[in-house]
Amino acid sequence: MDSLHLHFDIDGSDFTSAGEAASELKRVLRQLGFPPEIIRRCAISMYEGEINMVIHANGGTVDVYIDSDEIIFELIDSGPGIADVELAMQEGYSTASQEVRDLGFGAGMGLPNMKRYTDQIIVDSIVGVGTAVFMSIKLE
Amino acid sequence: MTVRMLAEKLDLECISNGDGNREVTGCYVGDLLSRVMGSAKEGNVWITIMSNVNVAAVASLADVSCIILAEGVKPDADLEAKLEIVDAALYTTPMASYEIAWKIHELIGV
With 70 as the cut, is the pLDDT of residue B43 above it?
yes
Question: Which residues, including other chains, have CB under 8 Å from residue B106's CB and lie 6 or more apart?
Answer: none
Task: State residue A14's pLDDT score.
Answer: 78
Does residue A43 sit at the B interface (CB-CB below 8 Å)? yes
Q: Which residues of A touch B54 (CB under 8 A)?
A: 15, 18-19, 103-105
Domain count, chain B: 1
In this predicted model, what pLDDT tens digit does every residue of B52-100 receive, in sequence order? 999 999 999 999 999 999 999 999 999 999 888 888 999 999 999 999 9
ipTM over 0.85: no
Q: In CATH, what number is assigned to the domain containing residue B92?
A: 3.40.1390.20
What percent of the residues of chain A are helix, what percent strand, and what percent coil, each to the nearest 5?
A: 35, 30, 35
Q: Among partner residues A16, A40, A109, which is closest to B34 by beta-carbon distance?
A: A109
Mean pLDDT of chain B: 95
Which residues form the domain of B104?
A: 3-108
Distance CA B60, CA B72 (A): 22
* Fold classified for A4-138: Heat Shock Protein 90 (3.30.565)
What residues of chain A score a pLDDT lower than 50?
Answer: none
